[in-house]
Amino acid sequence: MPTAMLVVTAMLSSLLVMASGEPIVIAGKPLSEWDMLDVDMSAGSDGCECLTDVRALLAQTAPQLFHLLRRHGFSERGERRVVVAPTRAIELQPLLQDLLLERHYAVQWQQPIGEGSFGAVFRADDRLTGRPAAIKRTKLEVAGEGEGIPASSIREVAALKATAHPNVVQLLDVICEHGGMDLVLEYLPANLAQHMKRHRFVLEPQAVCSLQQQLLKGLAFCHICSILHRDLKPANLLIQDARPGGHGNLKIADFGLARMTSFGKPRYTPGMVTAWYRPPEIFFGGKYSSPVDVWSAACIFGEMVRGLPLFHGKSDIEVIFSIFRKLGAPRSVVFPQAAFPDFKPSFPQFQRRSWEDICGPDAELGPEGVQLLEDMLQYDPSMRISAKGALGSAYFAGAAAQ
């Protein structure tokens, strides 16, 4: 048996078919019908014509496969030598997904452009058009519920397919094979958190107004489509125009926690909405719907205006107290038990602060901006303005919009 060998299993046959794009016949027999071939890639005459065919195939027809096998540690010593021990053949399975993807996109695997709890995002270029794209790959082990495509990816695809809008990130493609799923998204150079950081957390009032309006336009459209985002935060908003004072071309992204409201009103699911952007009805175990996203959008608005998060804390209770310290509670505000079952009247009491005090004297919000914040941050979700209603705010027609 040769020391360096390539074990061609049925799995690897599929890889080869995908790499070349055509069914492969070796020595008159389709590759898929070969149970196992040991191929010495290193050279030398093995006396078998069909093995020479495989070598040539790998070297010429399937350079991507070669590249891929090497990247995943299957290859050793030089360009033309691939070693796959029989025990590792099963590990070839995930490569199918990579190969399928790499036929269409040149992916920059070395450096993810984003990494989150659910997976990683990579920059890529469409091989045909050169158009940049972002590949969002979900970690399969996060799926938790056993094998298969994680629920977050399915939710994200369903939501993105339903929301073609200039202020929602565009889903270009879905590549799905053997339990893996990659979302191919239009590429945007920055997220809002990075954008604010780059500008030292000081955005021009006109830029804030424009970005907030774009956020609300995208959000209003999602809500018209009966989609709750449930995870609005600066890192989940992408920005095309990241120049100083850039007014953005903002797009809502990361629909991994999104759900359709048409399936009934969801009750609190632990972990929905990052704590700093989470509304009281979620903190206090109430039923929730589209007003959750309006609260989060208001927190983002406040953050752009202030240059630091509106409500923050290291734990849920710290965030709750941060909200109460600014908006006042609970003496001045009513949290009916039915709507907020987990609210405790024993919470310490806080006085309401003015928006000028909260945002600072330089905020340039104006009375219209203050009113908009007020309307979007109503404790009672039924009193909170809708995204569509917020778009009608005088703030978007006032001085800040000029």
Ligand X SMILES: Nc1ncnc2c1ncn2[C@@H]1O[C@H](COP(=O)(O)OP(=O)(O)OP(=O)(O)O)[C@@H](O)[C@H]1O
Residues that bind Mg ion (CB under 5 A): 116, 236, 254
- Contact of 59 with 43, CB cutoff 8 Å: no
DSSP state of 287: B
User: What radius of gyration do the chain's Cα atoms show?
Assistant: 27
Q: Name the DSSP letter for residue 229.
A: -
Cβ-based nearer residue to ligand X, 169 or 305: 169
Q: Which does 313 bind (CB under 5 to 8 A by kind): ligand X, Mg ion, none?
A: none
Q: Considering the complex, state which of residue 248 and residue 256 has its C-beta at the smaller distance from Mg ion.
A: 256
Taking CB within 5 to 8 Å according to partner kind, which of ligand X, Mg ion, none is near residue 191? Answer: ligand X
Of 55 and 251, CB closest to ligand X: 251
The entry of ligand X, Mg ion, none that residue 100 binds, CB within 5 to 8 Å by partner kind: none
Minimum Å distance from CB 191 to ligand X? 4
> C-beta of 102: minimal distance to ligand X in Å?
19
Rounded-to-integer distance, Cα 233 and Cα 310, Å: 12
Give the nearest distance from C-beta 123 to ligand X in angstroms. 7
Two tokens, residue 287:
């039923």
From the CB of 232, what's the least distance to ligand X, in Å? 11
Which residue number is nearest to ligand X in terms of Cβ?
Answer: 114
Cβ 307 to ligand X, closest distance in Å?
A: 20
Rounded to a whole number of angstroms, the minimum distance from the CB of residue 236 to Mg ion is: 4
* Pair 387, 294: CB distance under 8 Å: yes
**Residue 119 binds which entry of ligand X, Mg ion, none, CB below 5-8 Å type-dependent:** ligand X
Nearer to Mg ion, 136 or 384 (CB): 136
CB nearer to ligand X: give 271 or 367: 271
* 17 Cα distance to chain centroid: 31
- Choose between 16 and 171: whose C-beta lies nearer to ligand X: 171
Binding site for ligand X (CB under 6 A): 113-114, 116-119, 121, 134, 136, 169, 185-188, 191, 235-236, 238, 253-254, 256
Element (H, E) at 149: none
H or E element, residue 226: none
Contact 181, 174 (CB under 8 A): yes
- Identify how many contiguous H helices and E strands the chain contains and give both numbers: 13, 15
Give me the DSSP letters along 204-219: -HHHHHHHHHHHHHHH
* Contact of 122 with 137, CB cutoff 8 Å: yes
Rounded to 5 degrees, φ, ψ at 188 are -125, 140
- The alpha carbon of 396 is separated from its chain's Cα centroid by a whole number of angstroms, namely 29
Element (H, E) at 203: none
Q: Is 159 left (phi over 0), alpha (psi -120 to 50) or beta?
A: alpha
Instruction: Mark whether 35 is an active-site residue.
Output: no
165 interface partner picked from ligand X, Mg ion, none, CB below 5 to 8 A per type: none
From 40, 182, 231, 254, the catalytic residue: 231
Catalytic amino acids?
231
